[in-house]
A = this chain, B = another copy of it.
């Protein structure tokens, strides 16, 4: 009666067509032919026929049986943020090559969302986690740890939990940026950051603070409350600038704050770097192309991705008990990419030969 359209081939079909048992087929397909001493002839016949009919095992059944899904859950703060998008893409590619799939989701730094996503990933039985932890999810992470599911954090870590993590030395980055500004002759350097007190933000703040303390120079830290509505953020930065006219340079602690900052600066009609020098944490298309181009503290995205996935896959493939092994923690170095927004004397770049006369 019903018009059955799908008729996937099953392992059963293969076995009966070939007149062997399904165990033989399964063994061959899982590369265990040799160790089960299945004859090469049979193995080859199986492989050939499987290829011929395009048989694909049902992953659901396989996973249900083995308890392994070969899926990794990736929880980032915001996949639309180019930093996270880049790292995610790199991680995905490497995982794919090694037979793992990634499913990713953004928390928007909301602990509730983060908890929900972790729960969802657990329900989906991911084999491992890669997490950019938002505040207040210590409990969920420690649950994962207790269940001995492999996990690697990146960008920041949870100081109270013995997890693997890969982070960047934010303090070193901001310290270097601050020294660069001082060397350029800026003396009133402000630091604009978020209201987060997570490790990566505190480190970035600390690098700035320490250098200025050493020089006995004034610090000026502005913490901006990050809301969904961007207008108050921009307005807040504008107000800060107006209230502190002596400030001659600003270090932004993260890429999106810099973007809001550029908007605020543009609205106030201030010129970069003449009125105000700018350095941002994180690189971005916008910063490269902005006029003037923005100096940034760039994070080593390839290295972050590579190390994260290496650590995770190692645990995934390691039969040993993870709980007993010491967690791995890695601190990578950022690099300062100097562009025009932080140079006191504008550098004159020679025009290309024969500038075209358009218009």
Residues of A within 8 A of B (CB): 5-6, 56, 58-61, 63-64, 69, 79-80, 82, 85-86, 88-89, 92, 101, 103-106, 119-120, 122-125, 146-148, 238, 241-242, 245-248, 259, 262-263, 266-270, 274-276, 285-286, 289-291, 351-352, 354-359
Do B276 and A358 touch across chains, with their CB atoms under 8 A apart?
Answer: yes
Which chain B residue lies CB-closest to A188? B359
Do B89 and A359 touch across chains, with their CB atoms under 8 A apart?
Answer: no
Known: A86-B80, A269-B352, A289-B266. A148 touches B5 (CB 8 A): yes
A61 to B123: give the CA distance in the assembly, Å: 11
CB distance from A119 to the nearest CB of B (A): 8
A124 to B106: give the CA distance in the assembly, Å: 21
A139 to B69: give the CA distance in the assembly, Å: 28
Which of B89, B125, B147 sits near A106, CB closer than 8 Å?
Answer: B89
Do A245 and B89 touch across chains, with their CB atoms under 8 A apart?
Answer: no
Copies of this chain: 2
Which of B80, B285, B358 sits near A275, CB closer than 8 Å?
Answer: B358
The list of the 6 closest CB pairs from A to B, nearest first, reads A80-B85, A275-B359, A275-B358, A60-B64, A248-B359, A286-B286
CB distance from A303 to the nearest CB of B (A): 18
19 pairs, CB–CB < 8 Å, chain A vs chain B: A56-B119, A59-B125, A60-B60, A60-B63, A60-B64, A64-B64, A79-B79, A79-B88, A80-B82, A89-B106, A104-B104, A238-B352, A259-B285, A266-B291, A268-B355, A269-B355, A270-B358, A285-B286, A290-B290
Known: A245-B357, A289-B286, A352-B268. A92 touches B105 (CB 8 A): yes
CB distance from A71 to the nearest CB of B (A): 8
Complex interface: chain B residues within 8 A of A89 (CB): 79-80, 106
A352 to B69: give the CA distance in the assembly, Å: 58
A95 to B107: give the CA distance in the assembly, Å: 16
Determine which residue in A88, A123, A262 has the highest number of CB atoms from chain B within 10 A of its CB, and name it. Answer: A123
